[in-house]
Amino acid sequence: MGKRVAIIQSCYIPWRGFFDFIGRVDEYILFDDVQFAKRHWHNRNKIKTAQGMQWLTVPVVSKGKFAQTIEETTIAAPWASSHWKSIQHAYGKAPYFRSYGPKIEALFDQAAKLDNLSLVNELLLSDLARLLGITTPMRRSSSFAAEGRKTDRLVSLCKTVGATHYLSGPSARDYIEPEKFETAGIELEWMDYSGYREYPQLHGAFEPAVSVLDLIFNVGDEALTYVRRTAL
């Protein structure tokens, strides 16, 4: 069957599709030695509240650091306690908050001790994935001596870890050069984010574009069945 690999930039407490992506590969590489982007998902995400959608943003040092990578991005101020209070206020009455709240609160307590965005994201991604039942190994791209830029860098990373298949997000169609994967003997595949089932939510009409925490607190042990759009 070969080895399927994904290489995508880390996000802060991302939506369920991100975890579906991770669960479909044999190894996930956090692409953390690429440029940090402001107003991106790298350091923020949304939760659903009684007052509507709310952004939770991890404050980072960015002034005068236009070219810094995600790996180089540091935390600017305490944030975890206020984020947890917002989450608790939004989901305190959710069916599974009592079951999962203490576990996730403990994760935020751990994250609060870190001063680097990439480490915060890695901690939360890996532990939330395990909470969902996803056991895909994760490593950071900065730990490899891969070469090149853009597609060349992705191909080099794939070769380094012995990938035979590369699963890419659909937005990468704008810049990926498929012929370079073909030349390297690596099959390029595309993730499809359509067709996820709705699940019971608090606070009005269903909203799909929210952190996976919304799913966990609302459906509990059934979360993985809603993460997986189709069978693996």
In total, the chain counts a number of residues equal to 232
**Chain mean position to CA 151:** 21
Mean pLDDT of 4-27: 96
Strands 44-49 and 52-57: antiparallel
For residue 162, give the DSSP letter: T
Residue in 48, 118, 126, 56 with CA at minimum distance from that of residue 84: 56
Question: Token pair for residue 26?
Answer: 């044999």
Task: Taking residues 1-6, report their average pLDDT.
Answer: 92
Tell which residue, 155, 187, 212, 194, has the closest CA to residue 29: 155
The mean pLDDT value for 181-208 works out to 95
| pTM exceeds 0.85 | yes
pLDDT, mean over the chain: 94
Candidate from 4-13, 77-86, 143-152, 180-189 with smallest mean pLDDT: 143-152
* Tally: H helices and E strands in the chain: 8, 7
Q: Delimit the domains of the chain by residue range.
A: 4-227
- Residue 28: predicted pLDDT: 97
CA distance 49 to 211: 12
Is the pLDDT score of 172 beyond 70? yes
Distance from C-alpha of 168 to C-alpha of 227, rounded to nearest angstrom: 18
Tens digit of pLDDT for each residue in 99-115? 999 999 999 999 999 99
Return the ∠ at Cα 159 (arms to 158 and 163), rounded to 5°.
Answer: 55
Share of the chain above pLDDT 70, in %: 98
Q: Are 25 and 135 in contact (CB under 8 A)?
A: no
- In the chain, the amino acid numbered 150 is K
